[in-house]
Structure 1
Amino acid sequence: MKIYTKNGDNGRTSLLNGQSVLKTDDRIELLGTIDELNSQIGMAKVLADDELRERLTHIQKTLMFMMSGVAAPMKREYRFEESETQKLEGWIDATEDSFPRVKDFVLYGGCEESARLDVARAVARRAERRFRVVAQKFVADKKAMQYMNRLSDFLYVAARYADYKAENIRSEGVRQEVIRDILKEPHGSRRRIDN
């Protein structure tokens, strides 16, 4: 079976219920944004440690389930569970408790891992805005919208933790370099301090 069907060549596509809609429909825009978010999370996952990678993988699966609910909002089996949002909140709290988070304005790009997480966070914010538009015009799962809001918070905290870890690694590297330089220095070349 070929990957292309040519069904979308006329600028239309179908929702899960079979309804044909324009590809510019707000629900399709939302689905595309969630798909983009999932891809960006995949980019962030490449550099993540085991614990964060496991969490990001779970989030990706959750987003795929969420997309089913957007495409078929009336189907009960796609209703979003509040427990998923609570899980995110637990991860946020645990991460925040593990380091002294800077509360000032952050200039993104402290390290590659945080930069990727911040791009994902920005897309999550856009997905949340698109959710609001869909909720005004059609039907949207309020618990899924709440999850999207909390997801951007989680990605933000994860990015700041990545910056924190990277800064510690850089600081340790500088410290080790200083120690090596001191050990290489001949004893006779050290400046003598007289009292």
Structure 2
Amino acid sequence: MGVYTKTGDNGTTGLFTGERVDKDSIRVEAYGSVDEANSFLGLARAFAKKEEVIEQIHSIQKISMLLMAELASKSSKEYITRKHIDDIESIIDNFEKKLPPLTAFITPGDTSAGAALDIARTTIRKAERRVLTLHHHEAVSKYVTIYLNRLSDLCFVLMRYEEL
């Protein structure tokens, strides 16, 4: 099978569940923003020096694929669950224990990985906004927006840890 299918030449794309929608639909914007963030996470992973950060980024990239599958579906199947949120909160807590208290605003960019993690963080915030817009028009699991919110927090913590 080739890379190009020509099925999107008319400005539509296929969802995970088979329906075709406009490429500029709110749903496509939502999962496209998660895809964009996942690419920045990959960049951060490529630059990261600390094995704990590398492993954690890789783990959340895999979950991001589930998140995109859920957003690219018009079904009621929830790929992101309360357990994902609980897990990410635990990971944040564990990394925060290793960090000094935050006493000032941080300017990202001390390391390439830290800068990429901060771009991922802001892109995830954008994805969260796109998902909220989608939620105004179609059903979206509450766990998706909560997960995105925590994921951006995790990127911030990972950035601080990587730049420590």
TM range (shorter): over 0.9
**Where does 1:26-45 land on structure 2 (aligned, <5 Å)?**
26-45=26-45
Q: Is residue 101–residue 161 contact of structure 1 (8 Å, CA) maintained in 2? A: no
Pairwise CA RMSD: 1.3
Name which structure has the greater RCO, CA cutoff 8 Å, separation 6+: 2
Instruction: Specify every segment of 5 or more residues in structure 1 that has no aligned partner in the other structure, as ranges.
Output: 165-195
Q: Is residue 41–residue 117 contact of structure 2 (8 Å, CA) maintained in 1? A: yes
Greater C-alpha radius of gyration: 1
After superposition, the C-alpha distances for 1:12-57 in whole angstroms (9 at most, x for unaligned) are 1121232221100000011111111111101011132222211111
Spell out structure 1 runs of 4+ moving beyond 3 A. Answer: none
Question: What amino acid maps onto 2:70 in structure 1?
Answer: G
For 1:160, the equivalent position in structure 2 comes to 160
Match of 2:21, SS state, is strand
Match of 1:13, SS state, is strand
For 2:120, the equivalent position in structure 1 comes to 120
For 1:133, the equivalent position in structure 2 comes to 133
After superposition, the C-alpha distances for 1:136-163 in whole angstroms (9 at most, x for unaligned) are 0111111111000000001001111222
**Does 1:57 find its partner at 2:28?**
no
Percent sequence identity over matched residues?
36
After superposition, the C-alpha distances for 1:50-77 in whole angstroms (9 at most, x for unaligned) are 222111111111110111111224242x
The structure carrying a bigger helix percent of its residues is: 1
The count of corresponding residues between Structure 1 and Structure 2 is 163
Could you state the TM-score of these two structures normalised by the residue count of structure 1? 0.79
Return the offset for 1:120: 0.6
Instruction: Specify every segment of 5 or more residues in structure 2 that has no aligned partner in the other structure, as ranges.
Output: none
Q: Distance in 2 between matches of 1:101 and 1:131?
A: 32
For 2:106, the equivalent position in structure 1 comes to 106
Q: Distance in 2 between matches of 1:7 and 1:32?
A: 18
Q: Is residue 124–residue 151 contact of structure 2 (8 Å, CA) maintained in 1? A: yes
Q: Distance in 1 between matches of 2:52 and 2:110?
A: 21
Q: Is residue 33–residue 127 contact of structure 1 (8 Å, CA) maintained in 2? A: yes
For 2:18, the equivalent position in structure 1 comes to 18
For 1:2, the equivalent position in structure 2 comes to 2
Q: Distance in 1 between matches of 2:138 and 2:25?
A: 11
For 2:142, the equivalent position in structure 1 comes to 142
Could you state the TM-score of these two structures normalised by the residue count of structure 2? 0.93
